[in-house]
Amino acid sequence: MPPYSFIILTYNEEQHLPRLLESIAGLNAPVFILDSGSDDDTILIAQKAGASILQHAFENHPKQWDFALKNFDIKTPWVVCLDADQVITPELREKLANFKDQDYQDIDGIYFNRKNFFKGSWIKHGGYYPFYLLKMIRFGVGYSDLNENMDHRFIVPGKTVVWKDGHILEENLKENNISFWIAKHNRYSDLLAQEEVERMQKMRQQTLKPSLFGSPDERTAWLKQLWWQLPRYVRPLLYFTYRMIFQLGILEGRIGVIFHFLQGFWFRLIVDVKIDEILKNKQPGILVNTGRISPGKFVFRFLFLFLLFYYFNILFFGITNPGSHYYPFLANHLNYIQGLRWLLLSISTQVLNGLGFSAIHNGTELLVAGKGAIILVYSCLGLGLMSFFAAFVIAYPKKTNQKLIFLTSGILVIQLLNILRFVLLALFWNKDASRIVDHHTIFNIILYTIIMISLYFWVKQNDEHPNKHA
């Protein structure tokens, strides 16, 4: 008998369970199934496969896995924990067939690489591949993280390894009906919103030590800490833009882009809305005020900083371009405006090439074969927008680390949208249309609208936050 058993969670999985059981057939490993009250043929399918079955009412995934690990009579030193809509590939099956406990004496957990599918399409961009899940743990050593409501993970105290070869394929065929996906994530958003409010009130703590350079789960814990500090309503837009541009979600195709929008923006936005609903309904009072300054002082600071940033950029642009006040040293060694233009053009070029076009740039112009060229002048860089945004954030009374996070994320969003604009202009802009419509004006209107909405919620979040001692 292999040194591991399989544990599988089910709920009305007659469509998925046979597929999973077939993928692990022949490994001769014990199979344990924890069901949440299925009313289809799930139990019958499990019985025919010879699985040991328990039933337990579902509250959330972490508690369900905790029950499974504590109540099944496991005799093997390892367990492989799978959801019913997952299957293992032949390559992963081969690794499991050759697995020997003595080869992993100093290891407590093994990460499997996952491929996620949505409506039949493999989601391979936007941060979804490679994606490592801790699915194989030492029994009695690893445990379910109960400090999470929705994003389930296992915890092991010792070392882990990552199996990059071989995959778990995850495809929930029920989600081919978009109404099922929306209803499911609406339930998940309730759990996630409640969890985040409890974290605000110090009622939950992260089990894992966050580390950007640690295990896949430690890195996730670090990113979550960053997420919780970002202003609500702004972070879904930031996250979606990051997935689409830097993690190349834009290359996914129609189905993939729909998935990234729903999972990366819509779902996160619903969570933020529900967090606000919970906070507003929470009693006793939740409103506190911190660090206010008079409106007059704020306006003075804001105007001073805005004019300083705005005209400094204009001055610097003037002295780094040939003319009567030209400074060669600044132009050649400290020219941040030229550096920003080069960076925006380089990223835009990479995106266009990734989309299958042939694009090049020379530091000023972007050329797409068969489409035309655009020239990035000073007004294209968004320096005025960034000056306005930075002046407001710096002038507003708030903790320095909160300002820094919001300022950095806001400037990143501005330039990500700028890159999207350059890509669209390079592909679709009709030069003759510039006589009628100025794309700079359109872009500025859109960006200032986004900035004002973002600042509103940032200020609102600053003035209204939970205080259990209020």
pLDDT tens digit sequence for 129-161 = 999 999 999 999 999 999 988 888 999 999 999
- Distances 163 to 132, 267, 342 between C-alpha atoms, Å: 8, 30, 39
Domain 4-173: CATH architecture, name and number where available: Alpha-Beta Complex (3.90)
Is 0.95 topped by the overall pTM?
Answer: no
Give the per-residue pLDDT at 431. 61
Range of lowest pLDDT (100-114, 182-196, 423-437): 423-437
Q: Summarize pLDDT for 329-382 with one digit per residue, the tens.
A: 888 888 999 999 999 999 999 999 988 899 999 999 999 998 888 888 888 888
pLDDT at 14: 97
Most confident of 26-40, 235-249, 296-310, 374-388: 26-40
What are the two backbone dihedrals, phi and then psi, of residue 243, each rounded to the nearest 5 degrees? -65, -40
Enclosing H/E stretch for 165: strand 159-170
Q: Over 50: is that where the pLDDT of 467 sits?
A: no
State the Cα–Cα distance between residues 365 and 104, nearest whole angstrom.
56
Mean residue pLDDT of the chain comes to: 89
Most confident of 127-131, 236-240, 383-387, 405-409: 127-131
Inter-residue contact 30 to 6 (CB < 8 Å): yes
Domain ranges of the chain: 4-173, 176-281, 295-463
Is the pLDDT at 76 greater than 90? The verdict is yes
Going by the DSSP 8-state scheme, the letter that residue 108 receives in this structure is E
Residue 293 banded pLDDT, cuts 50, 70, 90: low
Most distant CA pair in the chain, distance: 88
d(CA 143, CA 152): 11
pLDDT of residue 253: 87
- Better pLDDT: 189 or 285: 189
Answer yes or no: is pLDDT of 469 > 50.
no
**What's residue 398's pLDDT?**
85
Q: Is the pLDDT at 121 greater than 80, yes or no?
A: yes
Residue among 434, 256, 277 at smallest CA distance from 248: 256
Q: What sign does the CA torsion over 452, 454, 460, 462 have?
A: negative
pLDDT at position 466 is 43
Angle at 220 between CA 61 and CA 100, to 5 degrees: 70
**Minimum mean pLDDT range among 72-86, 90-104, 257-271, 451-465:** 451-465
> How confident is residue 456, by pLDDT bands cut at 50, 70 and 90?
confident
- Token pair of 343 as six digits: 């960076």
Spatial neighbors of 365 by CB under 8 A, at least 6 apart, are 373, 374, 375, 376
Query: Given a cut of 70, is residue 434 above it in pLDDT?
Result: no
- pLDDT at 286 exceeding the cut of 60: no
Residue 284 has pLDDT above 50, yes or no: no
Q: Are 67 and 7 in contact (CB under 8 A)?
A: no
